[in-house]
Amino acid sequence: MKDANSLDHALQDNKGGQIQQHSDLKRQFRCVGLTMFLISCGLLILRTVFSFVSIAGVNLGANNGYVADLFFSLLMQIGILFLMPLFIFKFVLKKSTLQVFLFSNIRKTSIKNIIISVALGICFFIVTIAVSTIWQIFLSSLGYRSSTSSDADSVNGWWFFLSIFTVAVLPGFCEEFALRGGFLTTIDSVYNRTSVLIVGGIAFGLFHQFIGQVFFTAVGGVFLVYITLLTKSIWPSVIVHFINNGIGNYLAFAKQNGWLGSGFFDSIKDNIGIAFLILMVCFSIGMLLLLILKKINKNPQSNKRNKLLKNSLMVSFATVNPIVMPSTVLSSSPELDSTSNIKTKFKPDLYDYAFYLGALCVTITSTIFSFIWGL
Amino acid sequence: MKIIIKKLLELLLSVVIMMIFLCCIFISSFKQQVTAKIVNNLDESFLSPFSFAIFEYEDVNSLTWYELKIEVDRMHLSVNEEFIDKLHTYFVEVFNIVGLTEVSNSKPKNHLITGRTKSTHQSPLNTTSRLGRSIGFFRLQTEFLLKNPFEIFWQQLNSKTSRQATVFEKIADIMIRGYDPIFSTKSVKLCSMIQEVGVDPLSFKNSVASYYFNSNNRVLSNSARHVIVLKQNFLLWQNELQDSQSAVVKVITPNTMGYNAVALGGGIFVVLTIFFITGQSRKRKKL
């Protein structure tokens, strides 16, 4: 009898915990949706403001374009992509800064992961060139002709380092924070792994709001989501992102200034066969590195413990209620929460999706417009 | 009474949602007019966002030509014949100054200006991924090919929009693939246009074939390609053009405000509509 009472109490506590957790997840899901919607709107508003600044002919000094670019990058990357989600998560979800960082996958990672990420970054850059080229050819076949220039200018010195800061360092961290942080954690609690990869990739592509980049960034996004989920840390994807942007930026400057590697892009164009070979080699090395990364981050002890916990919970719960076995029960243990192997799957309704769909609408519309106008 | 007020508020909300969306579309057209006005009044600053570069090409047959690429930051401008003529005159003058009227591979160092000058060479291989890469600074890309038989035609072509240049490229592609220009409607029209400006269609076709063959197949050697930035010279010349209002004809599109407003309005519209629909169904459930 005593045992039955204590079991009843335990079940009631468990049910209360489930309701609380469901409510928390719902709030988290909506909060992240709001953040994504605000980010997508913020990026667009910032573009508009800067185009006005430009049309007004505001004189920002001799290196007008660079100064404007710097302001734009700082506002966009730090303001919209980093501080905005940070504060929303902190104040709406009532989390401490440390909790927000953990929620955003800012966790320590091993040296091995970092070393592999550096190598992966180089492979990623090469493969992205191929994907980008295919996409550009496809767009060209549709008559698309971008009016933006992607070449660097023939300036030296600290402008280059400043450019590295705005093109590689800031996006490397801030974009990853926004898209592989709280957003990824949240969608990971809603969808299965394959869906998370697809949604995460598409989100990354669409948030560029530019037809020229949407495809290869989406493909790259899938990869970055994968390594973040694999390592449970944002840092490997930050490193890969930084290396990709950094190399691209360096080569653009090198081309203009005759630095080492200045003929890189031209030599690719001139030697398609060799370029294809390099691509295949890099792709193979990248896949191999991914396998190593997967092996390194596989924790057999943790998996075994989770399996045991899961089994014990299933047995105890099934004894009382053999029909209903909600998945949320399985993650009520903090130990299980700390791993991503067993997750609570929260099912959002249309109301919860409102901001996500709004963000989707904003990003898709602006991307389509960039195609129509050839921006 | 309360029910009536509630119903009225709901009706008002749905009207507001629709109005937001319609306003965005309205802003879109409104901004276009404003832009045109700004451009027409930009006496001295309309040329300041100009930057341009000359590309020197040399093909395998040692045929050399020069390509002038002009880029206008901030807005798309459409230029007329007078503008093209002045630009052409200036271009030839500059060539004389820098000694490039002769076939030469040497860079005139005294005229090589480094600084904030964009090359319009768009490389699909540059994969730098950065959010907001296109921040809405519009650019017009106008290309001139000099020292070849079809320069006049090229100028005429560029007096129209860059979008039309893409159409031209398609026509040129058809021509170089070996279609007989006489039996193609588009090509017949093209041939007549070429003849009107006093250029032999056959030599034009060959030149186009040569140009596109070389550029598409990357036959051009990198060493034969020089970029000569002449922004400073252009800045000197722009003083002559400051009085010429006719140089700017119109703003052709697009406007960032317009499409951004539609995108933003669309997003807000979606969010509010979902809130509105789900709000109604929740009320029904409660009842």
Which residues of chain A from 80 to 139 reach within 8 Å of chain B, CB to CB? 81, 125, 128-129, 132-133, 135-137
pLDDT at B78: 37
| CA distance, residue B138 to nearest chain A CA (Å) | 7
pLDDT at B137: 26
Residue at A116 is within a domain: yes
Tell me the C-alpha distance between A168 and A245, whole Å.
5
Tell me the C-alpha distance between A362 and A354, whole Å.
12
Task: Give the highest mean pLDDT range of A27-31, A155-159, B81-85.
Answer: A27-31
Q: Pick A358's closest partner by Cβ from B115, B132, B267.
A: B267
Full residue range of the structural domain in which residue A144 is found: 2-298+345-372
Q: Which percentage of chain A shows pLDDT scores above 70? A: 71
Q: Which residues of A touch B126 (CB under 8 A)?
A: 150-151, 248, 251-252, 265
Look at A154 and B134 and tell me if their CB atoms are within 8 Å. no
Q: Which residues of A touch B217 (CB under 8 A)?
A: none
Provide mean pLDDT across the span A51-72.
57
DSSP character at residue B48: T
Task: Give the highest mean pLDDT range of A355-369, B24-38, B71-85.
Answer: A355-369
State pTM to two decimals. 0.61
Contact predicate A234/A106, CB 8 Å? yes
pLDDT at A169: 92
Q: Pick B263's closest partner by Cβ from A73, A149, A365.
A: A365
pLDDT at B153 over 60: no
| CA distance, residue A243 to nearest chain B CA (Å) | 10
pLDDT at A144: 62
Q: H helices within chain B, ranges in order?
A: 2-41, 81-98, 151-158, 162-176, 185-196, 201-216, 231-241, 256-286
Residue at A165 is within a domain: yes
pLDDT at A369: 77
pLDDT at A288 over 80: yes
B233-278 pLDDT, tens digit per residue, is 333 333 433 433 323 322 233 445 667 777 888 888 888 888 888 8
pLDDT at A93 over 60: yes
A267 or A17, which is more confident?
A: A267
pLDDT at B57 over 90: no
Provide mean pLDDT across the span A263-289.
85
How many CA atoms, within 13 angstroms, populate the side-chain half-sphere of residue A76? 30
Look at B118 and A149 and tell me if their CB atoms are within 8 Å. yes
Which tokens sit at B231?
């922004």
Look at B256 and A220 and tell me if their CB atoms are within 8 Å. no
Range scoring the smallest mean pLDDT among A340-344, A361-365, B200-204: A340-344
Contact predicate B230/B210, CB 8 Å? no
Q: Pick A41's closest partner by Cβ from B218, B254, B264.
A: B264
pLDDT at A157: 65
pLDDT at A99: 92
Q: Residue B273 corresponds to which amino acid?
A: T
B256 or A255, which is more confident?
A: A255
Provide mean pLDDT across the span A46-58.
60
Asked if A141 reaches chain B (Cβ–Cβ under 8 Å), the answer is no
Look at B114 and A154 and tell me if their CB atoms are within 8 Å. yes
pLDDT at A304: 55
Task: Report the mean per-residue pLDDT for chain B.
Answer: 44
pLDDT at A337: 41
Residue at A330 is within a domain: no
A131 or B112, which is more confident?
A: A131
pLDDT at A263 over 70: yes
pLDDT at A299: 67
A326-336 pLDDT, tens digit per residue, is 333 333 333 33
Residue at A91 is within a domain: yes
| CA distance, residue A144 to nearest chain B CA (Å) | 8
Tell me the C-alpha distance between B237 and B242, whole Å.
9
Provide mean pLDDT across the span B172-197.
42
Look at B129 and A241 and tell me if their CB atoms are within 8 Å. yes
pLDDT at A5: 64
Domains held by chain A: number? 1
The Cα diameter of chain B in Å comes to 90
| CA distance, residue B186 to nearest chain A CA (Å) | 17
DSSP character at residue B144: E
Look at A209 and B130 and tell me if their CB atoms are within 8 Å. no
B282 or A163, which is more confident?
A: A163
How many CA atoms, within 13 angstroms, populate the side-chain half-sphere of residue B7? 4
Residue at A309 is within a domain: no
Which tokens sit at B103?
């076939």
pLDDT at A163 over 60: yes
Note whether ipTM > 0.85 here: no
Rg (CA), chain B: 26
Q: Pick B38's closest partner by Cβ from A55, A209, A363.
A: A55
Residue at A313 is within a domain: no
A142-154 pLDDT, tens digit per residue, is 656 554 433 444 4
Look at A270 and B218 and tell me if their CB atoms are within 8 Å. yes
Q: Pick B120's closest partner by Cβ from A43, A149, A266.
A: A149
Tell me the C-alpha distance between B157 and B161, whole Å.
8
A350 or B219, which is more confident?
A: A350
Residue at A314 is within a domain: no
What Å distances lie between residue A115 and A236, A243, A285, A340, CA to CA? 9, 12, 14, 23
Provide mean pLDDT across the span B143-166.
37
How many CA atoms, within 13 angstroms, populate the side-chain half-sphere of residue B100? 28
Residue at A245 is within a domain: yes
pLDDT at B49 over 80: no
What Å distances lie between residue A298 and A64, A226, A336, CA to CA? 50, 14, 16
